[in-house]
């Protein structure tokens, strides 16, 4: 992928970290990076121009059909006919960008089957009415944590990262990554719930042993300051409010039962998820065209010759970290190479014409 971009004259900067600025949906793109993106776009447009690509922006594809050896594409600016077709219409996420799921129906009409879709990389809505609905008062507070996804009574997945409380529930990279697991299990009708470990990497016994040691070492320290040694003070107060433990209680006066309740709250805080924020707030779509129907070497359909499908329209979704872009671009590069081979071999090569 990188060499493909470099061949098109695009400057590639390799980094191995995702920068998150602690606010909802804000992954850092500085001014320099934005300029590089604009320059990359320009280079790609120039490369397309010099390859005589006929780019038609602000054009909506309304219908796609196969007639004999050709594809007929009905657009908002008239009809096109082509010998090969690439569906790169994305998923259902952020429909205002134009990716509204229309491509799934095109694929279905050309013979493909679909794996049911759900939003993914999406914030989660918490039940504000439940006793643990502390998210509204913690709105804007962020911590490092670990989410356990429980499916049918057992932990199916554990993920770690930054969690952000918001006015509607929870967001941040950790939650976005966990969301597809919750949404898929819910769609399949399975019992699913999430718990948050605010002491990532530590289990109940270890945290409880630390608290027991703290009671001996610092008996006059308060429960609030003990929690707040590792977490924001607002979180300490919210946890103690829900547990109905006085924040200024000295550790020496903490009962064994309350100590264990606090440790349990810190390591397995229930997150009463009622829904995702939906496709309008989802970065990707899980589900899509069944991968079994695609040749991974060329991205050509196995059910409709010379139809290629790339990117999010397929049943692939990745965690945060650029994997979705990588999947879309790599698939596109594989499809482009296959199309070039097709035309070079002089078979019914790719080409399109206005009708
Ligand atoms: C807010 C946000 C942040 C994201 N951040 C990241 C990230 O940091 N890292 C990462 O890896 N991924 C990220 N993603 C996901 C990533 O953008 C997608 O996975 C990727 O762009 C998918 O590429 P695609 O080409 O398959 O589809 P898209 O990028 O969705 O492109 C599909 C295109 O097809 C057009 N289209 C659809 N239907 C029609 C039609 N009928 N007629 C004409 N045109 C049509 C759409 O307008 C769109 O331009 C993010 C997504 C969002 C929404």
According to the model, what pLDDT value does residue 43 have?
82
According to the model, what pLDDT value does residue 150 have?
98
Distance, in Å, from the CA atom of 99 to the CA atom of 116, rounded to the nearest integer, reads: 16
Does the Cβ of 311 fall within 6 Å of ligand 1? yes
According to the model, what pLDDT value does residue 3 have?
78
User: Containing H/E element for 269?
Assistant: strand 269-271
Q: What own/partner pairs with CB < 8 Å and gap ≥ 24 does 188-192 have? A: 190/151, 190/152, 191/150, 191/151, 191/152, 191/153, 192/149, 192/150, 192/151, 192/152
Domains of the chain: 60-121+287-355 (3.50.50.60), 123-277 (2.40.30.10)
Does the Cβ of 285 fall within 6 Å of ligand 1? no
- Distance from the alpha carbon of residue 90 to the mean position of ligand 1, in angstroms: 5
The pick from 75, 328, 333, 334 for probing ligand 1's pocket by mutation, whose C-beta has the most ligand atoms within 8 angstroms, reads 328
Residue nearest to atom 47 of ligand 1 (CA): 98
Residue 27: count of CB within 10 angstroms of its CB: 13
- Distance from the alpha carbon of residue 66 to the mean position of ligand 1, in angstroms: 25
Does the Cβ of 332 fall within 6 Å of ligand 1? no
Residue 214: count of CB within 10 angstroms of its CB: 17
pLDDT tens track of the chain, all 355 residues?
777 777 777 777 766 555 555 654 445 555 666 677 777 788 888 888 888 889 998 999 999 999 999 999 999 999 999 999 999 999 999 999 999 999 999 999 999 999 999 999 999 999 976 555 678 889 999 999 999 999 999 999 999 999 999 999 999 999 999 999 999 999 999 999 999 999 999 999 999 999 999 999 999 999 999 999 999 999 999 999 999 999 999 999 999 999 999 999 999 999 999 999 999 999 999 999 999 999 999 999 999 999 999 999 999 999 999 999 999 999 999 999 999 999 884 444 455 565 5
Q: For residue 87, give the 3-state DSSP assignment.
A: strand
Measured from the CA of 98, which atom of ligand 1 is nearest? 47
Residue nearest to atom 36 of ligand 1 (CA): 89
Residue nearest to atom 29 of ligand 1 (CA): 90
Query: Which tokens belong to 304?
Result: 């409709």
């Amino acid at each position: 992928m990188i060499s493909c971009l470099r061949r098109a004259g695009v400057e590639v900067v390799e980094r191995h970290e995702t920068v998150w600025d602690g606010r909802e949906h804000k992954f850092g793109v500085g001014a320099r990076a934005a300029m590089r993106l604009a320059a990359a776009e320009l280079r790609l447009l120039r490369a397309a121009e010099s390859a005589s690509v006929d780019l038609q922006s602000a054009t909506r594809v309304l219908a796609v059909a196969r007639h004999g050896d050709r594809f007929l594409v009905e657009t908002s600016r008239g009809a096109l006919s082509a010998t090969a077709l690439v569906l790169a219409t994305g998923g259902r996420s952020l429909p205002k960008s134009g990716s509204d799921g229309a491509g799934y129906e095109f694929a279905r009409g050309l013979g493909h089957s679909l794996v049911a879709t759900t939003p993914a990389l999406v914030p989660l809505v918490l039940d504000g009415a439940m006793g643990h609905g502390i998210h509204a008062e913690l709105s804007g507070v962020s911590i490092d944590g670990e989410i356990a996804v429980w499916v049918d009574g057992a932990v199916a997945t554990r993920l770690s990262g930054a969690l952000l409380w918001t006015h509607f529930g929870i967001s941040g990279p950790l939650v976005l990554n966990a969301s597809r697991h919750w949404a898929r299990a819910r769609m399949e009708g399975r019992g699913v719930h999430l718990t948050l470990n605010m002491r990532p990497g530590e289990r109940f016994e270890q945290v409880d042993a630390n608290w027991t040691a703290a009671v001996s070492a610092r008996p006059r320290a308060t429960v609030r300051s003990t929690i707040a040694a590792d977490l924001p003070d607002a979180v300490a107060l919210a946890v103690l409010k829900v547990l109905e433990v006085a924040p200024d209680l000295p550790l020496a006066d903490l009962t064994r039962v309350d100590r264990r309740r606090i440790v349990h709250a810190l390591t397995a805080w229930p997150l009463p998820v009622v829904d995702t924020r939906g496709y309008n707030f989802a970065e990707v779509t899980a589900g899509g065209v069944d991968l079994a129907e695609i040749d991974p070497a060329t991205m050509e359909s196995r059910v409709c010759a010379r139809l290629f499908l790339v990117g999010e329209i397929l049943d692939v979704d990745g965690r945060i970290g650029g994997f979705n872009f990588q999947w879309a671009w790599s698939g596109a590069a594989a499809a482009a190479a296959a199309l070039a081979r097709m035309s070079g071999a002089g078979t019914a090569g790719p080409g399109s014409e206005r009708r």
